[in-house]
Homo-oligomer: A and B are copies of this chain.
């Protein structure tokens, strides 16, 4: 349900099933391989925030010997297709999730707590950036750091 703030619709597809994505892959001349299908299954089952490493482990649980480089290559293609996005929640690995589930993150620099921020919070910023700077923001890609309630 959470929609990107003001992005052209083409950048975020309304994808709802693994088979749908695989059909899209085929339509682009790609192949519906086992590693691709399983990666998608994992992505659809998870609630987001998985690193490439974690995805690789989950995929390998169902199909051993899927190499992490394959995970990365498939993640990259799925991103090019607009099916998934990745975001940076801190200094470590990127987090991948379905584009439709993307949202902004607030991360506490002290304790590392991750807060999922509703897009409404970014509306005034999005409007000001567009009106004053002609810039359309995508608040999902990089987390916003700061300090949570308990760390003050």
Give Cα A19 to B133, complex, Å: 38
Give Cα A121 to B138, complex, Å: 15
Beta-carbon nearest neighbor of A106 in chain B: B135
Give Cα A149 to B129, complex, Å: 10
Q: Assess whether A26 is interfacial by the CB under 8 Å rule.
A: no
Give Cα A128 to B128, complex, Å: 15
Beta-carbon nearest neighbor of A145 in chain B: B141
Q: How many residues of A contact B (CB 8 A)?
A: 32
Given the interface pairs A129-B106, A142-B88, A142-B142, the reply to whether A135 lies near B149 with Cβ below 8 Å is yes
Residues of B within 8 A of A135 (CB): 106, 108, 115, 146-149
Residues of B within 8 A of A122 (CB): 125
